[in-house]
Amino acid sequence: MSLFSAVEMAPRDPILGLNEQFNADTNPKKVNLGVGVYYDDNGKLPLLECVRAAEKQMMEAPKARGYLPIDGIAAYDAAVQGLVFGADSEPVKGKRVATVQALGGTGGLKIGADFLKRISPSAKVLISDPSWENHRALFTNAGFTVETYAYYDAARRGINFDGMLTALNQAAEGTIVVLHACCHNPTGYDLTPAQWDQVVAATKAKKLVPFLDMAYQGFGSGIAEDGAVIGKFVASGQDFFVSTSFSKSFSLYGERVGALSVLCASAEEASRVLSQLKIVIRTNYSNPPTHGGQVVATVLNTPALRAQWEEELAGMRQRIKQMRVALVEKLKAAGVKQDMSFIAQQVGMFSYSGLSKDQMVRLRSEFGVYGVDSGRICVAALNSKNIDYVCESIAKVVG
* Cα dist from 280 to 108, 284, 292, whole Å: 11, 6, 21
Name residue 216's amino acid.
Y
> How do strand 240-245 and strand 350-352 relate by DSSP bridges?
unpaired
Interface with ligand PMP (CB under 6 A), residue from 104, 188, 220, 293? 104
Please give the size of the binding site for ligand PMP, defined by CB under 6 A.
Answer: 12
Q: Which candidate in 213, 226, 309, 330 is catalytic? A: 213
Give the range of 81-89, 103-111, 272-280, 288-296 binding ligand PMP by CB under 6 A: 103-111
Q: State which of residues 81, 160, 175, 185 lies at the interface with ligand PMP (CB under 6 A).
A: 185
User: Closer CB to ligand PMP, residue 180 or residue 317?
Assistant: 180
The separation between the first and the last C-alpha atoms of the chain, rounded to the nearest angstrom, is: 55
Q: Does 113 engage in binding with ligand PMP (CB under 6 A)? A: no
What b-and-e string marks burial along 7-39, b requiring 16 or more CB atoms within 10 Å of the CB? Answer: eeeeeeeeeeebeeebeeeeeeebbbbbbbebb
Contact residues for 277 (Cβ-Cβ < 8 A; gap 6+): 71, 98, 100, 111, 115, 260, 262
CB of 102 or CB of 270, closer to ligand PMP: 102
Of 172, 184, 169, give the one whose Cα is nearest residue 215: 184
Binding status of residue 244 toward ligand PMP by CB under 6 A: no
Part in contact with ligand PMP (CB under 6 A); list of ranges 14-22, 74-82, 98-106, 192-200:
98-106
Q: List alpha helices for the chain, DSSP H.
A: 14-24, 49-60, 74-85, 90-93, 104-119, 133-141, 161-170, 193-205, 223-236, 267-282, 291-301, 303-333, 342-345, 357-367, 387-398
Residue 213 bears catalytic tag? yes
Binders of ligand PMP among 164-183, rule CB under 6 A?
180
- Interaction of residue 247 with ligand PMP, rule CB under 6 A: yes
Task: Please select the residue that binds ligand PMP; options are 258, 292, 368, 375, rule is CB under 6 A.
Answer: 258
Q: Which of 77, 132, 190, 309 is catalytic?
A: 132
Active-site residue identified among 110, 248, 309, 330? 248
> What residues numbered 345-384 form the site for ligand PMP, per CB under 6 A?
none
Using the rule CB under 6 A, is 132 a contact of ligand PMP? yes
Q: Nearer to ligand PMP by C-beta: 175 or 245?
A: 245
CA distance 199 to 238: 12
Which of 5, 279, 263 minimizes the C-alpha distance to 118?
A: 279
248: annotated active-site residue = yes
Q: Is 188 in the site for ligand PMP (CB under 6 A)?
A: no
Site string for ligand PMP, 19-38 (x = CB under 6 A): -----------------x--
Q: Which residue is nearest to ligand PMP (CB)?
A: 104
Closest to ligand PMP by CB, 105 or 227: 105
Q: Which amino acid is at 192?
A: T
**Contact flag: residue 191 with ligand PMP (CB under 6 A):** no
Task: Confirm or reject binding of residue 245 to ligand PMP (CB under 6 A).
Answer: yes
The answer to whether residues 108 and 215 touch, using CB atoms and an 8 Å cutoff, is no
Q: CB 364 → ligand PMP: shortest distance, Å?
A: 21
Q: What is the DSSP letter of 87?
A: T
> Can residue 190 be called a binding residue for ligand PMP (CB under 6 A)?
no
Q: 89: left (phi > 0), else alpha (psi -120 to 50), else beta?
A: beta
Q: Among 213, 226, 255, 312, which residue sits at the site for ligand PMP (rule: CB under 6 A)?
A: 213
Does 101 bind ligand PMP (CB under 6 A)? Our answer is no
Instruction: Describe the crossing of helices 104-119 and 267-282 by its angle, rounded to 10 degrees.
Output: 110
Distance CA 216, CA 184 (A): 9
Active-site amino acid positions: 132, 213, 248
Residues near ligand PMP, by CB under 6 A? 36, 104-106, 132, 180, 185, 213, 215, 245, 247, 258
